[in-house]
Structure 1
Amino acid sequence: MDKRGKGDEVQLGIHHQFYFLECLISSCVEAQRKQEAQLDVPFSKAEMVSALVEVVERHQSPCKPGSILPSTLTALYHLSRLKPKTPRELETRFLGLALPVLASLQELSQDREEQIFYENTTQTWQVLLQSLLREDPTIGHLFSLLDQQQFGLQSEKGTERAWATRNITALLRRAVDMQDFKLGEEVHQVGQFVASFGILLADAEMEVGWRAQESLHRLFQLLLRQRGIKTREAPCLWPKEKQLEWGMAAYEYIARVGKVFGELFSAPQRASFLDTVLQAIHQRSPRLSIPGLLLLYSFVGTGEELLGMDAQATEANISQKLHKFRDCGKQPVEYRCLVAGKDDVIIEDIEYEDE
């Protein structure tokens, strides 16, 4: 890597870029072997991360076997294990550029070679995220990393939702396991992610539902620690085990999420949760609107009234309420009380159900 003035671009061909990455990885590994805190090179860590950002910028074509992206992920992983901390703005830039390329993995034909490449690259991505979190083990940084994955949770493609939930679950699991993880900061995005995962509990892709459940469990653990509440003193997040088919079990879980988390949220977290749920309710996709309305009702304390004897009856109940709420402008009294307490909400000409 040539030393350049500020603002200059580093001009590297593809072969030189691979060589640069190999040298950087080898240097980092050697420094770690010698237990050195940083590289003994005439470049700052910020300059080296900037070079990695440029490599990703130059290779935005679909990710496939032989591509340069896995080496770039590995290089940033090794750099993240050395001091100083990776600059947050460069970290965000790198991850934002890499994610769309990684998403192309879902479009591969999945022959044996491509499957191995997919598994290895996904594992490298998860390890990178966990290493970046290790640099700055705070809840604010955790949600900065999670925000990068948010678009995948909202994807219409089940494979992309599965990929996003897989990565987020691994990162949340890592955060919970860290002994020195700092929870002092109040993060409003907690509400947004609880709402997103609550909706995904009823996802048609069962893997997505399972991972959404684990992610909610991990977020619950973090919030309990932040509030200083012991697990044995906390409300039960999941209902007692019943012999239920998956669809009905998912609705039972959703009915608990809004109620239990609502008791732990700060005011900004409640607002974030509510905004996300309302966006889902006003979508025409039943995949979003049906669990979204159940989440809202559970949030205001009336979710169980929508639960029927089975999934079909529950969906019929929710659909009826959804029509009243969204299409007829008739909303429950509990919801009126909720929005009346929000300073930024103006209530005009809204009818309410006689509950």
Structure 2
Amino acid sequence: MAEKHLKILQRLRALFKRAKVAPRAGGEVQPAAAAACRRRPKRGAAECIAHFLAAKDTGPRQDRAFLQAVRGFCHGRERSLPSCKQRIAEKIRDIMHKSFLALEARLVGCMEAVAELSKFHPPLRTDLRQSIVAWALGMVLGGPPIQADPAGQALQQKAEEALRRMLRGLIREDPSAGHLDTLLDQLLYWLRVSWPAPRARAAALLRDVLLDACKMPGLNISSQHTFGHVVAKLSVSLADPEAEVREKAREVFGQLMQLQQKKQGRSQFTWEEDPERPWRESYAHLITAAEVFGGHLSARQRLSLQEAALEDALSLDGRWVREGGLLVLLSLLGQARALLEEEEEIEDLRSNLSALLYNMWRGREVPPEIAALLPSSDE
């Protein structure tokens, strides 16, 4: 009898080792759940998700199985998720936070899973969505440098594509003005960091996000009261010291101008060139953008543009940010182009701008129109 029981135990042990049977108790996701995902895509994915949500501690293997299960389930024609969407997103966020030393394929899988998860309603909680987006932007745009080998470059490109898909999905999930404003603020932050590469990537990503947002029915960013804030913050990038950032910023403004042309019945817009003094082009582009948009903004939008430009002029960011903010203010007052035309050298222009900025900081002789925008001493 004992020999018979021993054979039964040996057979059960063999079944466990081959992942034919999964333990009933909660804990680490077992290989059986991952195998079920492959054998029965829909039902297996739901089981894998449920196992993972019940688990306390997971490793890389279980994380990958869970992300694959989420993507596999969302690819189907199911109308509802097998578990709470918020809980699934929280687990994805926790997995994302495990990638903080370097960009990993696991982070790419997280962004792809969020993109698929965004197909289901209700939308994610605002704080959860902001946390996911902030971490993804930090790792993809400003994370540790990627090695120059082909594998590292391929991973960076794949991560940027996954980030675009994730942001596109989140916009479609919640095509509201408040959501778009928050998302644009997160992207505009990366346009003033010290490192050139993140700024260029952020400008390209902002271009794609605006293009997706403009395609959403009923979501016209040029009609929002915060549109002036976006114009002011983006205008500064037209004078960025990096040519790649300036080029992408012009592409973004091209999209915004296209919307404005349709709204105002304008036919075309071109960036002016100055071959004899090429250093003037970026400043001229900034002034032109401020003049064109400033003349077609509502009173509330114009106020948001003034506030954002003043914030840049008084900020501690890069020199081009402070100078750009001041030029936007002077453009609204009709004084920027005359200041640009009277200077023959870039150093002369920068000296004048530096003097004006110093006076603004010290509260000395400041043009009355700009002084009216400055915070009072009590503030």
Q: Same fold (TM over 0.5)?
A: yes
Of residues 29, 38, 52, the one that matches 2:79 is: 38
In structure 1, the partner of 2:334 is: 301
Q: Are 2:141 and 2:202, in contact at CA under 8 Å, matched by a contact in 1?
A: no
Of residues 136, 147, 153, the one that matches 2:185 is: 147
* CA distance in structure 2 between the partners assigned to 1:100 and 1:251 by the alignment: 29
Match for 2:117: what amino acid?
A: L
Q: Are 2:103 and 2:144, in contact at CA under 8 Å, matched by a contact in 1?
A: no
Match for 1:206: what amino acid?
A: A
Match for 1:319: what amino acid?
A: S
**1:282: how far off?**
2.7
In structure 2, the CA distance between the partners of 1:275 and 1:257, relative to structure 1 (3 Å rule), is same
* CA distance in structure 1 between the partners assigned to 2:55 and 2:301 by the alignment: 41
Which structure 1 residue ranges, 5 or more long, are not aligned?
349-355
* CA distance in structure 2 between the partners assigned to 1:313 and 1:81 by the alignment: 55
In structure 2, the CA distance between the partners of 1:263 and 1:75, relative to structure 1 (3 Å rule), is same
**Do structure 1's residue 133 and structure 2's residue 167 form an aligned pair?**
no
Which structure 2 residue ranges, 5 or more long, are not aligned?
1-48
TM alignment of 1:33-112, pairs within 5 A: 36=77, 38-39=79-80, 41-57=81-97, 59-65=98-104, 67-105=105-143, 107-112=145-150
**1:127: how far off?**
1.8
Tell me how large the CA RMSD over aligned residues is: 3.1
Match for 1:50: what amino acid?
A: E
Q: Are 1:37 and 1:83, in contact at CA under 8 Å, matched by a contact in 2?
A: no
TM alignment of 1:1-355, pairs within 5 A: 1-2=49-50, 11-29=57-75, 31=76, 36=77, 38-39=79-80, 41-57=81-97, 59-65=98-104, 67-105=105-143, 107-176=145-214, 178=215, 180-183=217-220, 187-222=224-259, 228-232=263-267, 238-243=270-275, 246-283=278-315, 285-307=318-340, 308-309=343-344, 311-327=346-362, 329-336=364-371, 339=373, 346=376
* CA distance in structure 1 between the partners assigned to 2:110 and 2:270 by the alignment: 41
In structure 2, the CA distance between the partners of 1:4 and 1:20, relative to structure 1 (3 Å rule), is closer
In structure 2, the CA distance between the partners of 1:159 and 1:74, relative to structure 1 (3 Å rule), is same
Q: Equivalent pairs: percent with the same residue?
A: 23
* CA distance in structure 2 between the partners assigned to 1:108 and 1:252 by the alignment: 35
Q: Are 1:129 and 1:171, in contact at CA under 8 Å, matched by a contact in 2?
A: yes
In structure 2, the CA distance between the partners of 1:245 and 1:211, relative to structure 1 (3 Å rule), is farther
* CA distance in structure 2 between the partners assigned to 1:86 and 1:223 by the alignment: 31
In structure 2, the CA distance between the partners of 1:98 and 1:239, relative to structure 1 (3 Å rule), is closer
**1:224: how far off?**
5.6
* CA distance in structure 1 between the partners assigned to 2:180 and 2:277 by the alignment: 34
Q: Deviations over 1:32-85 (max 9, x none)?
A: xxxx2534x53132332222122223x1422334x4100011111112234444
Match for 2:61: what amino acid?
A: H
Q: Are 2:294 and 2:302, in contact at CA under 8 Å, matched by a contact in 1?
A: yes
Match for 1:247: what amino acid?
A: W
* CA distance in structure 2 between the partners assigned to 1:104 and 1:289 by the alignment: 22
**1:339: how far off?**
3.1
Q: Deviations over 1:113-167 (max 9, x none)?
A: 1111111111110121112212333443322222222321121111121121121
**1:301: how far off?**
1.8
* CA distance in structure 2 between the partners assigned to 1:268 and 1:192 by the alignment: 10
In structure 2, the CA distance between the partners of 1:62 and 1:286, relative to structure 1 (3 Å rule), is same
Match for 2:60: what amino acid?
A: I
Q: Are 2:52 and 2:62, in contact at CA under 8 Å, matched by a contact in 1?
A: no
Q: Are 1:277 and 1:293, in contact at CA under 8 Å, matched by a contact in 2?
A: yes
Three-state SS of the structure 1 residue aligned to 2:58 is coil
Q: Are 1:259 and 1:300, in contact at CA under 8 Å, matched by a contact in 2?
A: no
**1:238: how far off?**
4.9
Match for 1:45: what amino acid?
A: K
**1:19: how far off?**
0.6
* CA distance in structure 2 between the partners assigned to 1:204 and 1:84 by the alignment: 43
Three-state SS of the structure 2 residue aligned to 1:148 is helix
**1:312: how far off?**
4.2
Q: Are 2:330 and 2:336, in contact at CA under 8 Å, matched by a contact in 1?
A: yes
* CA distance in structure 2 between the partners assigned to 1:141 and 1:265 by the alignment: 21
Q: Are 1:76 and 1:128, in contact at CA under 8 Å, matched by a contact in 2?
A: yes
Q: Are 1:3 and 1:43, in contact at CA under 8 Å, matched by a contact in 2?
A: no
In structure 2, the CA distance between the partners of 1:128 and 1:212, relative to structure 1 (3 Å rule), is same
Of 186-195 and 244-253, more deviation after overlay is shown by: 186-195
Q: How many residues align?
A: 327
After TM superposition, the runs of 4+ consecutive aligned structure 1 residues lying more than 6 A away are none
Three-state SS of the structure 1 residue aligned to 2:190 is helix
* CA distance in structure 2 between the partners assigned to 1:328 and 1:140 by the alignment: 35
Three-state SS of the structure 2 residue aligned to 1:74 is helix
